Amino acid sequence: MATTVDVNGRPLNVNSAPDTPLLWVLRDELGLTGTKYGCGVSQCGACMVLVDGQAMRSCQMPVSAVGAAKITTIEGLGGTHPLQEAWVKLDVPQCGYCQSGQIMSAVALLAQTPKPDDAAISAAMDGNICRCGAYQRIRAAIKEVAAGPALQPVAAKA
């Protein structure tokens, strides 16, 4: 049965079973491989996407639960989002595997709290595991973007 999902500002038809995790619909059916499989049990944050602007783990969210929500993946940020630019400038990633999930969590944080303190950053990023331990650089990139002009809500770039 075909379902229409709004991904990165585009309505897309998908044919996956209703109980298929959104992660696999994004990766396998839509070819959006920036969202990563990490643990599969909603613990590591590698599969983070935005669902109506809120950071959500896609590995445990069935595609049938998406409904009319707007999904934004790392590809939807277009590569020029201020957080993506700060990540590059501050040399944040080491292996890079967790970075799309980290960035998506940070985007949601800054949309909700434009000038977060350390406690807010820790709370928002707590569920994202970085095996390389780049947490200090991640925090520095978030702070750098927060110190600049307020970000506009994410408008996914198709």
* Tokens found for residue 129: 């595991």
User: Looking at the chain, which residues constitute the CATH 1.10.150.120 domain(s)?
Assistant: 77-147
- CATH code for residues 77-147: 1.10.150.120
User: Looking at the chain, which residues constitute the CATH 3.10.20.30 domain(s)?
Assistant: 3-76
Please state the φ and ψ torsions of residue 73, each to the nearest 5 degrees: -105, 175
What secondary structure does DSSP assign to the chain, as a single string? --EEEEETTEEEEE-S-TTSBHHHIIIIIS--TTSPPS-SSS-S-TTEEEETTEEEESSS-BGGGTTTPEEE-GGGGTT-SHHHHHHHHTT--SS-TTHHHHHHHHHHHHHH-SS--HHHHHHHHTT---TT--HHHHHHHHHHHHHSSPPPPP----
Tens-of-pLDDT digits for all 158 residues of the chain?
689 999 999 999 999 999 999 999 999 999 999 999 999 999 999 999 999 999 999 999 999 999 999 999 999 999 999 999 999 999 999 898 999 999 999 999 999 999 999 999 999 999 899 999 999 999 999 999 999 877 766 655 55
CA separation for the pair 139, 126 (Å, rounded): 11
Report the pLDDT value the prediction gives residue 148, as an integer from 0 to 100. 87
Report the pLDDT value the prediction gives residue 132, as an integer from 0 to 100. 92
Q: What pTM does this model have?
A: 0.92
The domain defined by 3-76 folds into Ubiquitin-like (UB roll) (3.10.20)
* Cβ neighbours, 10 Å, residue 39: 13
* Tokens found for residue 154: 């994410």
Report the pLDDT value the prediction gives residue 152, as an integer from 0 to 100. 65
